[in-house]
Structure 1
Amino acid sequence: MAKRNPATGDQSAAVLEWLGAAVPGFTLFRARADGTLASVSDTWQAVTGLEPETCIGRLLADLVDPRDRVRVERLLERGPGASSGEARFSIPAPDGEGRLVMAMRGPDLSGDHGRDVVGIMRDVTAERAIERQLAAAYSYDMLTSIPNRTLFMDRLGEAVRAARASGEGLALLVCDIDRFRAVNETAGHRTADELLRIVARRLERQIRGGDMIGRIGADEFGIIQSGVRSQADTESLAERLTFVLAKPYRAEGIRMRASCSIGISMLAAEASAESMLTEAMSALTQAKRVGRGQVRFADPEAESEVRETHSLEDDLLQAIDEAGLTLHFQPVVDLATGRISGAEALLRWPHPERGFVEPSRFVPLAEATGAIRPLGAWVLDAACATLRRWDAAGLDNLTVAVNVSAAQFRDAGVYEAVTAALDRNRVDPRRLEIEITETAMLEDRAGDALPQLAALARRGVQIVIDDFGMGYGTLTYLRAFPVSKIKIDRAFIGAVMDDPRDAAIVRGVAALGSSLGLRVQPEGVETAEQLRFVQELGCTEAQGYLFSRALPEEDFVRFISDWEQRRASVPASVGDVPALVRRLAAGSPVADAPGDPGSVAPDIHDVPHVARAPGWERAFVLAASLVSLWTAAGAMLWLIV
């Protein structure tokens, strides 16, 4: 201890004195019952920054920051109810470099509550600096040096409470850099990082002193606008931001342009920081759907739609995981034999609360969210499992067609999913048909589909072009893709009896398929007249409500049994397959009655609307073929370029 007031010969004091001198960074002090310093060790000045001579005889509480005085007094308390003996406080220094110390009271040397208190201190100033640095790293974005999402949301919560208390308006703007991912991929991460720093600086220059910006996502910035008098104030700020951010940038020596889209939410009566951010993000999504550089305010109806979409997505993923989906099967009839040759598997979702959800509603959602991959894999596996069950039931001659979207091919996992389903269920690949729409083929400019379809065809899987006639020019793809069948879109079949142009298109497609050696299957056959029309064109198969709607698996198996029983009841002398199919489709017994209009199909030229303009139809088919060839040539040129 310092010589000003040497310690007594007490053994405990000697130990403490030795500790204060021997342990680096520590100092020892001894205080009287009234809190005055009696003595300090030689390391006192190194730890506290104060000269020992100026401290001895003074109250320790007088040496610390006034805000910490109570802590020191509690540290030195004696007797029952006293402090646990540890405190952290600041000590101002004459040189202006204050110290933060941690003090711990030692044991009672005498056992008398009126005697001295002994304790130790250590300098924790450097530790405090590190803590502040860590706090800054936790609260500020390291790239742009502006508040990060955590700090921004804290400040937004404070702003919401302050605005509600004062009655002032408040707005939250979320700004997203358009096509930022493309900058990352083409210019590199360093350039993209520099772009983010420039955007942050530009935003900072546009806000007032009481407002705040923060980086709340990879390329998303939040702006808190306080003191808003009307929506026009926020509109004006948003216009300034979009204008400033649209100016040219120079990042890492590269000159570029970028735009931003902005979503805005205004403070509502029951709003919270989280709800305002959700609304602003929803508005941002709406803005980006419209185009680049757009601004949208939160719309309650749009927000409700977004929530419904998210809810539907969650339900869909749950349905995939928990077998909440099912397949229905629509029969396909072989027009040459009158037998059921297979079925198209159609996905159904019987939701426990929503009822049956239309595929047109949830399939696009699955494609947009990436859920199409597990959904598609489930459909393929379920279809192959159905084929295996049909094998066990003696229906080993049936095929199943499964639709595959362009999004699935872009994911490049179709081949693996198909082969996995076939192998897992031990199914003959020739009994599985993969349907890809003509439109999807045209969209496959990256060539994702062709290699996978070719590999599947080599495996034995049948490749079918669905909705043929809707894509406007796929003759090139008929040559490039390993196609075994084309399906004529129902939009043409539904009007063949009323519109000579649709009749001509169907006739041209049927002739094209026949000339290429492909099977041709019209969809959406609903009347006997339509069936007669496609039969006379030489179509090989047909599908539609005339035969049956899509059925659950058990009902489909019963339908086949009933169909075959009625087919077997036809006298062998009939021999008129077209009439047989039409009668079976109508659900009535087939009678070999002379003059029965259903037993013998009329010649195609007897159809009134066809007979009126055969020359015009031939010209239309020729023109349509030339247009298709021209479009195909253009597609080939595009691929070459």
Structure 2
Amino acid sequence: MGYWRSAGPDHPTLWISPELSDMYGLATRDGFLPVAEIRARFLGTAPEELLRGLACCWKDGTPYSVHAQYLHPLGQTIDFAVHGEAERDASGAITGISGIVRDISEEQAALRSVTESEQRLSDFIGTASDWCWQTGPDHRFLPLALPSERNSAIRTIAAGGVARWELPVVPEHREAMERHRADMENHRPFRDFVYTLIGPGGEKATIRSSGKPVFDEQGTFQGYRGTASNVTDLRVAEDLLVRRTAALAEAHRLGRMGSWHYRLGCDTVAWSEELFALTGYDPATFDLRHEAVLAHFEPADAEKLVALQKQVLKTGGAATADLRFRCADGRVGDFALNCKAELADGKVVGLIGTVQDISERKLAQRQLEELAFTDSLTGLANRTQFKRSLTSMVGRALLEDRFGALLLIDLDRFKEVNDSLGHAAGDELLCRVAGLLRHELGGEAFIARLGGDEFAVLVERPSIRDDMRELAEHLIARLSGPIDLANGEAFVGATVGIAKLPEDAATTELAMRNADLALCMAKETGRGRCMVFEPAYAEAVEQRLLLARDLRHAIEENELHAQYQPQVELATGRVVGFEALLRWTHRERGPISPAVFIPVAESSGIIVDLGLWILREACRQGRDWLDQGLPPRTIAVNVSPAQFWNMDFETAVSAVLAETGLPPNLLCLELTESLFVDQSEHQISRTLGALSGLGVRLALDDFGSGYSSLGYLTRLPFDRLKVDRSFVDGVSTQPEKRKLLGGIIALSRGLGMSVVAEGAERAAEVDVLRDLGCDVVQGYVYSRPVAPDKAPVVADAIERTPLVEWGPRPIRAERGPPALAVLMG
């Protein structure tokens, strides 16, 4: 305790006793401390309360007392009780205010401890599901102090004044309640009597109660005492368990599954009824001895099962195996057996498991495995089987002193056939080429289709001097003539790359690489010819590697930029969007065509970083245009298959949208059909569904250049179909193309998709596209790709240009408006 005195209502200091100075931890000057210094160390509302109390005391002599927390200079918080009262002279006038300050920290701590203990007790009582009850001699409940938040049916008991059999129980428990009443009237103790009440509001509560009669010293019955629990949730859980058990049994039946159990030291295995039904054996006559059961497995599988069980016994874990088992009807079925250790006190005491009939799945799997090595279209070997055969040939060439060759055959002008005559004709052409290769090579060569229009041939070479040029040139000659199709003739041709084995390659990968290099070199020299691999071809690869290295630096050194090509809505003439196109200006070589650096980026994996760069830049630019007050326009960004499959693409898109602030509905991701080659449709559907869920628009780009477009269009969440430029080019003069393009647009309409036609370069093409109902057109007829600062100006010029008469329908002037001419130079 310490003392203090105030000399006046406005006096800036207080006199405090040495004890109070120690309590405050403040040094006085001649016994005085500034009032403001003391008050500043009190916490919360205490400074205002102390000031108000002191002022009132000076005014009318009203004493005051304030409980406050004080922050000691050493850092601890102290609870103080501050008291003050007036000093008066003989005439009763106030001459000063004095008071005491008392450290009440221990009292407050004790009070808080008591409060906390009471709260804990209240919490325990409030959350407990058990309670004690008591009845009088008339069996009526005495009132209980149960928390108000309990079930309304339980509050009926807590109110007291009724016997248990007078409570509103559910109809199915009334008979049991009558028997319980007879027990109580005969003063019998009872345990775990369960009944369900209905509360005033229809709420139900299931109660489990136990009790015993109470007698006084003279043996007079005084009533019952006991405990009760709310077991409503427990009963719900028990009912759920019963239903789940029944559902599990039904699932076993539907899933053709049974269970088994083996206890260590026993001679027999225990089977479930479902397992007997699964195998067709009679439980009454089937020999369940361990050795007898093993005899029904195929010999190798019996050994496999024993080894599996030993492993589980040793590790205490679980294992699974597919085994073949002979059933009662003589059928040898495929079964998936699961085996798990049964533990007791940490020790393995037995084995438990399940058996599922997977015969149908295994049959389908074996059929699929047969198909897995065959190209479904041509009947030739596929890429998987080809790699196996190539590996075998390389091995023979290295180990057995034999010679072979790998010929990679790429059809020329196949895309033109596919585009002009349709996919069905393209597929027919591939089948004709496969038949021609079989006829020319017979059984002396291994032939495979690697995908698309690429074929591979493996042949044994008679000697090391034979480089197989003659065979390759013969095949090129045969493939260069007319090939009859159902709807006419096709003229394609072929280019061949040759790798000699083992001279040019000692591994499968190197053989493929070198043959592919020879094929690339042959294409670059003009197609329709063959080339044998030469080490000099590797120099071309080195040039690509250098370009890839510079491309990596381009990302870091800000050499990349984006240009934007407008997309025009035919119905309104408005520019509704831009396609963002990546451009590269090399620091030494100047502008490099995307046709040069994009393939390098694809093959080197840099395309992932490039794709993320253009995505972020396009979204940033779109947001910037919105901030400038320009109309909302879609930004279309191309997505590389490598970018899609080699990163968490959905997360990357979401992060870029959050970073740039572009509304998701203004971003359109354009995906080519090559994305779907050799990929899981389930994974594609999941990722595209997630992107669509973000609000992003999805477009199928270059429609018609792949093989599975119609299937994907019906199953995946595309918003737009972007028609490949090959369908647009010449559509105004070729009726066949017009019919094909009309079918594509009608198809998109039926699927609820909009159509964007790219590559329009002539007004007449736009005329046809409008007539066919195309939604949006993109191409040089409106504008080339332009820099970001010019794009809004180009869009404004397009939208302001009046329509002129071109042929029978209004169409924009083919050469573009003057404003565009200025911008485009």
TM-score (norm. length: structure 2): 0.37
Q: Which has the larger radius of gyration?
A: 2
Greater strand share, 1 or 2?
A: 2
Greater helix share, 1 or 2?
A: 1
